[in-house]
Amino acid sequence: MNTRHLPCVNSPDPSSVRSAGVTLIEAVMSMLIVGLMLVAALNTVGASRVTQSRSTEQTLGPMLADELMSEILNQAYEEPDDTPAFGRESGEFSGSRSAWDDIDDYKGWSAGPPEAKDGTSLSGMQGWTREVQVGWASSVNPNLGSLTPTGIKRIEVVVKHNGRPVTKLSALRTNGWPSNLAGDEDEGLLELIPDLLGL
Ligand SMILES: [Ca+2]
Ligand SMILES: [Ca+2]
């Protein structure tokens, strides 16, 4: 009769088991620390990019608003060559501002990316949009709107970046000079109100 002897298996050394356990814990802890450091680094990079984007918006937003508002305020208060309409008159097309010659020609206009007066898109301005609203302002309280002509037009330019409003610039322009209101009489400009939105 053959007797088969099983190989003798020694029990693991308890000290080596403890050592392996400690090594595993150290590895896990190291991975956790590295992971936390990576998350912190990514958060820092993200915050830096947001700060950079906000800084760009604070610079370009007012510039774009100022440039367009200056153009509008340099137009006549009312259509000089045709029967005035509160909006664009005949022959003044929305594709180009070249023929626009009075303030309310800009009513409801918007372009993104922003355009020069001849309709040429401004380079490097992807993601930016300019919008204009023109309406009547109350002669009693110019902060309020009016559905009927009052002799005061409110112009509002809003600049958006990636769909988010970042700058609003408002101005009031008069035809004659209302004696009950203060402002720049020579220009017929009552007030110019800059507003950085969401910054
Ligand atoms: Ca016009
Ligand atoms: Ca007009």
Nearest listed ligand to the Cα of residue 91: 1
What digits encode the pLDDT tens for the residues 132-141?
999 999 988 8
HSE at residue 116, side-chain half, CA atoms within 13 A, is 5
- Measured in Å, residue 123 CA sits from the centre of ligand 2 at 29
- Measured in Å, residue 76 CA sits from the centre of ligand 1 at 8
Q: What is the pLDDT of residue 7?
A: 55
Q: Percent of the chain beyond pLDDT 90?
A: 44
What average pLDDT does range 84-112 have in this prediction? Answer: 92
Q: What is the pLDDT of residue 55?
A: 80
**Confidence check: pLDDT of 2 > 60:** no
- The confidence band for 57, taking pLDDT boundaries of 50, 70 and 90, is confident
Residue 134 CA to residue 126 CA, distance in Å, equals 25
**Confidence check: pLDDT of 32 > 90:** no
Out of 19-23, 78-82, 168-172, 183-187, least confident range: 183-187
- Measured in Å, residue 78 CA sits from the centre of ligand 2 at 6
**Confidence check: pLDDT of 177 > 60:** no
- 82 CB neighbour count, 10 Å cutoff: 12
Whether the Cβ atoms of residue 88 and residue 114 lie closer than 8 Å to each other: no
- Measured in Å, residue 6 CA sits from the centre of ligand 1 at 105
Residue with tokens 């915050």: 47
- Measured in Å, residue 37 CA sits from the centre of ligand 1 at 61
Residue 7 CA to residue 57 CA, distance in Å, equals 77
Nearest listed ligand to the Cα of residue 134: 2
